[in-house]
Amino acid sequence: MALEHAILVSLLEQPGSGYELARRFDRSIGYFWTATHQQIYRVLKRMENDGWVDVREVAQDGRPDKKEYSVAEAGRSALSGWLRDPVEPETIRHDLAVKIRAVAFDDPSALIAEVVRHREIHVARLEHFLEGEKRDFPDPGALGTRQTLQHAVLRGGIAFQRMHIEWLDDVLATLHRLRPDN
Amino acid sequence: MALEHAILVSLLEQPGSGYELARRFDRSIGYFWTATHQQIYRVLKRMENDGWVDVREVAQDGRPDKKEYSVAEAGRSALSGWLRDPVEPETIRHDLAVKIRAVAFDDPSALIAEVVRHREIHVARLEHFLEGEKRDFPDPGALGTRQTLQHAVLRGGIAFQRMHIEWLDDVLATLHRLRPDN
DNA sequence: GTTGCCTATGCAACTGAGTGCATAGCAGAG
DNA sequence: CTCTGCTATGCACTCAGTTGCATAGGCAAC
């Protein structure tokens, strides 16, 4: 499980509240890890009990108070230990692949629309990533350690989206070959 | 959830027992979906209760009896309905990406070994996929519908592994640039 | 002054998936 | 004739993650 560790990294990059973390998980960190605010609050509570993070009540004006979390020494060493632990590559779960094979027993037309829809989603994500790259890493030669690493991860996301789009084009061509009338 | 549907597709391609399904999930279907035998037996039981599959006790010689499952009409229409239902692209969960960003707060050396290990795993998978491609689709021009679709899915797996290997090379170069002495 | 929206935190219930363990038939090695 | 290993099925426990719901402060629009 890496949600704890993703939160630790995010809090090391910038301390913040559960709400702020949830928003980050919609943005940069969310490029490669997702979490809802409920999960984040639950895990933060557990991490607080385990002494991995420190909490500080912060009064804000114009907004409700928030609890600002920051990484404690125990959290830092937990992260350090995890970094030394081997993790297995994520197991692949791909609904669309199941659907594609299922077309052998059903009508392809519905799937073509679905594949086109997925392609659009991946194109949108790619554009989103490329915008983020242009905004955050305009001069890749002049980055600090943290930015260099963030950029490497983002390049992974970009490569993933591009690969996906190419493959979906391949799938669409295959489906059309099976059904030349569509 | 698509495990049910992956099982339906697999049983449509070829009826079989839970044990046989588990082995298929280590091979062709496992290229893009994984499941342990416990999961498969549990889901098969549920699918049987829901009338999605039919069971037939088969006596074998030299081996224990098995239950051979095949897709019932209700299962076929459930699959058909699911095909028409939009599914969302899988959420990305990438431990390694978390680890890469974490390196900003720790020593890179341990991660380099981990990245090399992951690269080896993906190279092995790529070779495995390419062998499967050579074995099962030696003449891509002369395939039936089912094989054409299976091949398209396999090409996706191949593209995924290649993309991953290239990205890990990129990451390794980045890590070495940060630590020229390693 | 009520309605809608954003910030902010959280509980409860459910579900999917993983881990560990148990059982049993049968074969071949030693 | 026992041990190892493969085939074959399954239960129990645990945990991560999703969904739905609840609460509450403050702001702006109408």
ipTM of the complex: 0.92
Which are the contacts of B133, defined by CB distance < 8 A and separation ≥ 6? B151, B154, B155, B158
CA-nearest residue of chain A to B93?
A: A33
Candidates B71, B83, B88, partner chain A, best to mutate (most A CBs within 10 A): B83
User: Does pLDDT of A170 surpass 70?
Assistant: yes
Separation in Å, CA of B106 to nearest CA in chain A: 7
Rounded to the nearest integer, the mean pLDDT of chain B is 93
pLDDT at B61: 84
User: Does pLDDT of A73 surpass 70?
Assistant: yes
Instruction: Give the ranges where B34-182 is alpha helix by DSSP (H).
Output: 37-49, 73-84, 95-102, 108-136, 145-178
pLDDT at B182: 47
A117 in reach of chain B (CB within 8 A): yes
Across A8-26, average pLDDT: 95
User: Does pLDDT of B179 surpass 80?
Assistant: no
To which residue do tokens 């996706």 refer?
A: B156
User: Does pLDDT of B60 surpass 80?
Assistant: yes
Which of B34, B95, B156 minimises the CB distance to A2? B95
DSSP string, A76-113: HHHHHHHHHS--PPPPPB-HHHHHHHHGGGS-HHHHHH
- Contacts of A52-55 with CB under 8 Å at 24 or more apart are A52/A4, A52/A8, A52/A78, A53/A8, A53/A11
* pTM for this entry: 0.92
Residue B62, CA: closest nucleotide via C1'? C26
